[in-house]
Chains A and B, each alone.
Chain A
Amino acid sequence: MSQVIQKCGCRELSEVEKYALLEDVIEEYEGKESNLIQILHMSQAIFGFLPHEVQNFIAEKMDLPISKVSGVVTFYSFFSTKPKGEYTVRVCLGTACYVRGGKKILEKLKEHLGIDVGETTKDSKFTLEVMRCLGACGLAPVISINGKVYKRVNANKVHHILDKYNKGGV
């Protein structure tokens, strides 16, 4: 990871400080178009997500059209233009998980969280996403929460997993 990113705990930074940091990142990558994806990764690490204003700032500093920056941001699913919750719940919809009930898990999660795919709960706790095959087909169906994988999930008991996070984390 970049030097500049390592020295900070971004969540506590003010907006002004975040933009200053972003400027350092762009400078570190010499503002080159070929480094745009890396720069966007860093920006997402700093801001948590990539709203239009941040994309505009990057476009201006790198002298790129905003349509190009947003083209890249919207192309890759790991960039988000909306704020993310504290926990990102991802449901695998790869073939194995799908046939073993992944779809049902997703429905249940939507119901429990009261949100659709790509959305975040009002209390900013959970973001719901789907993923393609994780390569853990033997453990299907799986979900992951902030990277931690839960195997052989039972759709009817999936709320127990959420409860742990609601109680203040694992």
Chain B
Amino acid sequence: MINLTINNKKICVKEETTILEAAKQNNILIPSLCYLEGVHKLGSCRVCVVEVEGAKNLQASCITPVSEGMVIRTNSDRVRRARKVLYELMLSDHPRDCLQCSRNQSCELQKLGELIQIEESRFEGEKSKDFTDATSPSIIRDNSKCILCRRCVTVCNEVQGVGILNSQFRGFATEISPSPELPLGSASCTYCGQCTTVCPVGALKEKDSTKTIWQALLDPDKTVIVQTAPAIRVALGEEFGCQPGTIVTGKMVSALKEMGFDYVFDTNFTADLTIMEEGTELLGRIVGSLHAGKVISNEQLEKTGFKPSDNVPVLPMITSCSPGWIKYIEHYYPEGISHLSTCKSPHMMLGALCKSYFAERINVAPKDMFVVSVMPCTAKKFEITRPEMVNNGVPNVDAVITTRELAKMIKDAGIHFMALPEGKTDHPLGLSSGAADIFGATGGVMEAALRTVYEIITGRELPFDKLHVLPIQGLERIKTAELTILEAKKEWAFLNGVTLKVATTSGFRGASILMDDIRKGESPYHFIEVMGCPGGCISGGGQPRPTNDEVRKKRIQAIYAEDEGKRLRKSHENPDIKSIYDEYLGKPLGHKSHELLHTTYTKRSKF
């Protein structure tokens, strides 16, 4: 332990603590800007400077470790003057149009100005980088607002391991970009949007899709349908002052109805459907490879409902719900795309069903429908532009907005969100099981799949307390579990004694480790779940800011609470899923499913 003094207060902290952390642990406030707990401490903005006795210069407290006997002042005249000058210098190269800025009231630069009581700005100067990059379908970079804190650089390079954003040029000309000649839309960016969640100002944000939605809502000839992803309901409340982890499902549905959507459906419904399709696909790949390896006969294969085929199926199979992950694998591991499940992501499935099954049911032409997805994700804005996401000449989904954009629309509509009653989603694409809820958290798709697959094979419930596969939950980079099949049903008896090996990861760092193993032929797994964003969709690129591990954990807890609160906990028990197969789709992986619910991938290059 280290003893030191901050502002005459004697404190004692663990070794290797920084001054900023030591102060925080002892309720001493040091204003800071670029510092981001657990992610970014680089000392690039120097706002957090303090005076250390014996040191000639002021020290950036976020990068200076404490030492024995240190005497620190965080509020001396020198410190106060220094941070004000730093702030005013930043302002001299900033547009300062707060009143019409997307970050007004949620801007960290604005908050800091208030915190350190800036009431003048003495420096006027040339503006260095007045240009906006709007080439990406998901993300806008407004360079004029960038304060060069480099949080996005750390997140993109260190956390995600992608490296699209870096600092270019030097001095006054410095800008953060993929390279002077490469706009974001041409770079190998995954559009995960993690950079947008850490940007303290209005320099990185999602591309706006709210205007087209208002237009559709005003168009009397359009049937406008909206769906919300599992992760929205546990985060949207934060935009209206709720604590992280507050569940606002009912209010969210009411708000959407008040905004004028004709039908409010739930992406959770197609999350359940995904489990049926993807679970069946997994079983097909497993028995297919046993058949190809001559472990089981034609007859044994056919008893499980699958047909012999000449193609040797590829294992491990990897989930395909996260479009940021899909773009990542296409750019960085293009040879690995055969490992991807062919399932479209759940909201694309729902869009496809709205414009086929549901369109027939309500007798509306698919071209007169407008489907909106509210997603925690910026990559989904890109996903809907993929040429594969079209059936019968109409796109499956017409617009994607993030959680943040939905909050903006609710405010714009003048709705008193917190006073809304608890609304209910519409039928027939609105009912879901708890297994669908957990899609929003890392490890959730895997757990949901295991709940169903295990029961198909053995006829018994997944043997875990409350159906939770704890080893694959949580924020560690890579989580694994094994499940040995015993006393399988008659037609699956050849699986007795087989150990099913699974892994889950979130963020591209973990994904690249698992993909490198696959590349080397050393992957021991049958099934892998990858989510592009650390923690899963609950901390997707479109979620309310800030997202740190504490917020992630609260949102994850809320997701599991939502799951446990439901009577239906397994996808295959959802009665509406049963009826859609009976009435329309036939069976999982059947002809209609293939046409509407499955997709293909594109090899892209890394450079």
Enumerate B154-196 residues with CB–CB distance to A below 8 Å.
157, 162-170, 177-182, 187
CA distance A20 to B63 in the complex (A): 44
For residue A56, which residues in chain B have a CB less than 8 angstroms away from its CB?
Answer: 607
Check if B164 sits within 8 Å of A70, measured CB to CB: no
B606 at the interface (CB under 8 A from A): yes
Given contacts A52-B179, A81-B180, contact A68 B607 (CB under 8 A): no
CA distance A60 to B331 in the complex (A): 13
Check if A66 sits within 8 Å of B178, measured CB to CB: yes
- Selected from A59, A64, A65, A70, the residue in CB contact (under 8 A) with B168 is A70
Enumerate B579-607 residues with CB–CB distance to A below 8 Å.
606-607
Which residue of A is nearest B173, CB measured? Answer: A74
For residue A74, which residues in chain B have a CB less than 8 angstroms away from its CB?
Answer: 168-170, 180
CA distance A81 to B607 in the complex (A): 18
Which residue of A is nearest B157, CB measured? Answer: A65
A127 at the interface (CB under 8 A from B): no
A146-160 CB mask vs B (1 if < 8 Å, else 0) is 000000000000000
Check if A66 sits within 8 Å of B179, measured CB to CB: yes
Which residue of A is nearest B161, CB measured? Answer: A65
Interface of B is mostly: loop
A44-83 CB mask vs B (1 if < 8 Å, else 0) is 0000000010011001100011111111001100000100
- Cβ of B275 to closest chain A Cβ, rounded Å: 36
CA distance A68 to B156 in the complex (A): 12
Which residue of A is nearest B175, CB measured? Answer: A74
Which residue of B is nearest A57, CB measured? Answer: B607
- Cβ of A33 to closest chain B Cβ, rounded Å: 12
Interface residues on B, range: 10 to 19
For residue A64, which residues in chain B have a CB less than 8 angstroms away from its CB?
Answer: 163
For residue A81, which residues in chain B have a CB less than 8 angstroms away from its CB?
Answer: 180-181
Interface of A is mostly: helix
- Selected from B166, B170, B181, the residue in CB contact (under 8 A) with A68 is B166
Enumerate A2-36 residues with CB–CB distance to B below 8 Å.
none
Check if B607 sits within 8 Å of A67, measured CB to CB: no
CA distance A74 to B170 in the complex (A): 7
- Cβ of B103 to closest chain A Cβ, rounded Å: 24
Enumerate A123-169 residues with CB–CB distance to B below 8 Å.
none
Check if B180 sits within 8 Å of A65, measured CB to CB: no
CA distance A71 to B165 in the complex (A): 10
- Selected from A60, A67, A75, the residue in CB contact (under 8 A) with B178 is A67
- Cβ of A54 to closest chain B Cβ, rounded Å: 12
Check if A52 sits within 8 Å of B606, measured CB to CB: no
For residue B180, which residues in chain A have a CB less than 8 angstroms away from its CB?
Answer: 70, 74, 81
For residue A70, which residues in chain B have a CB less than 8 angstroms away from its CB?
Answer: 166, 168, 179-182
Interface residues on A, range: 10 to 19
For residue A75, which residues in chain B have a CB less than 8 angstroms away from its CB?
Answer: 167-170
CA distance A38 to B135 in the complex (A): 33
Check if A68 sits within 8 Å of B163, measured CB to CB: yes
CA distance A81 to B181 in the complex (A): 10
For residue A59, which residues in chain B have a CB less than 8 angstroms away from its CB?
Answer: 607
- Cβ of A67 to closest chain B Cβ, rounded Å: 4
Check if A60 sits within 8 Å of B606, measured CB to CB: yes
For residue B178, which residues in chain A have a CB less than 8 angstroms away from its CB?
Answer: 66-67
Enumerate B353-404 residues with CB–CB distance to A below 8 Å.
none
Check if A67 sits within 8 Å of B164, measured CB to CB: yes
CA distance A81 to B168 in the complex (A): 13
Most buried by B among A59, A67, A74, A75: A67
Enumerate A66-123 residues with CB–CB distance to B below 8 Å.
66-71, 74-75, 81
For residue B169, which residues in chain A have a CB less than 8 angstroms away from its CB?
Answer: 74-75
- Selected from A66, A69, A71, the residue in CB contact (under 8 A) with B167 is A71
CA distance A142 to B389 in the complex (A): 64
CA distance A158 to B188 in the complex (A): 48
Check if B166 sits within 8 Å of A67, measured CB to CB: yes
CA distance A29 to B256 in the complex (A): 59
For residue B179, which residues in chain A have a CB less than 8 angstroms away from its CB?
Answer: 52, 55, 66-67, 69-71
- Cβ of B69 to closest chain A Cβ, rounded Å: 37
Check if A65 sits within 8 Å of B170, measured CB to CB: no
- Selected from B166, B167, B181, the residue in CB contact (under 8 A) with A65 is B166
For residue A67, which residues in chain B have a CB less than 8 angstroms away from its CB?
Answer: 163-166, 168, 177-179, 182, 187
Check if B162 sits within 8 Å of A65, measured CB to CB: yes
CA distance A71 to B164 in the complex (A): 11
- Selected from A52, A55, A65, the residue in CB contact (under 8 A) with B163 is A65
Check if B168 sits within 8 Å of A71, measured CB to CB: yes
CA distance A64 to B607 in the complex (A): 10
For residue B164, which residues in chain A have a CB less than 8 angstroms away from its CB?
Answer: 65, 67
- Cβ of B33 to closest chain A Cβ, rounded Å: 22
- Cβ of A108 to closest chain B Cβ, rounded Å: 25
- Cβ of A78 to closest chain B Cβ, rounded Å: 12
- Cβ of A164 to closest chain B Cβ, rounded Å: 34
CA distance A75 to B178 in the complex (A): 14
CA distance A52 to B168 in the complex (A): 13
- Cβ of B335 to closest chain A Cβ, rounded Å: 15
For residue B166, which residues in chain A have a CB less than 8 angstroms away from its CB?
Answer: 65, 67-68, 70-71
Enumerate B446-493 residues with CB–CB distance to A below 8 Å.
none
- Cβ of B55 to closest chain A Cβ, rounded Å: 29
CA distance A152 to B153 in the complex (A): 46
Which residue of B is nearest A59, CB measured? Answer: B607
Most buried by B among A60, A69, A74: A74
For residue A68, which residues in chain B have a CB less than 8 angstroms away from its CB?
Answer: 163, 166
Which residue of B is nearest A75, CB measured? Answer: B170
Check if A60 sits within 8 Å of B607, measured CB to CB: yes
CA distance A70 to B164 in the complex (A): 11
- Cβ of A62 to closest chain B Cβ, rounded Å: 11
For residue B187, which residues in chain A have a CB less than 8 angstroms away from its CB?
Answer: 66-67
For residue B168, which residues in chain A have a CB less than 8 angstroms away from its CB?
Answer: 67, 70-71, 74-75
- Selected from B157, B165, B167, B181, the residue in CB contact (under 8 A) with A52 is B181
CA distance A56 to B187 in the complex (A): 11
- Cβ of A117 to closest chain B Cβ, rounded Å: 13
Which residue of B is nearest A76, CB measured? Answer: B170
CA distance A60 to B605 in the complex (A): 10
Q: A65-B166, A71-B179 are in contact. List 12 more A-B contacts (CB 8 A).
A: A60-B606, A67-B164, A67-B179, A67-B187, A68-B166, A70-B168, A70-B179, A70-B181, A74-B168, A74-B170, A74-B180, A81-B181
List 15 A–B pairs whose Cβ atoms lie within 8 Å, in order of A's numbering.
A52-B182, A56-B607, A59-B607, A60-B606, A65-B162, A65-B164, A66-B607, A67-B163, A67-B177, A67-B179, A67-B187, A68-B166, A70-B166, A70-B179, A75-B167
Q: Which residues of B contact A (CB under 8 A)?
A: 157, 162-170, 177-182, 187, 606-607
3 tightest A-B contacts by CB? A65-B163, A70-B179, A67-B166
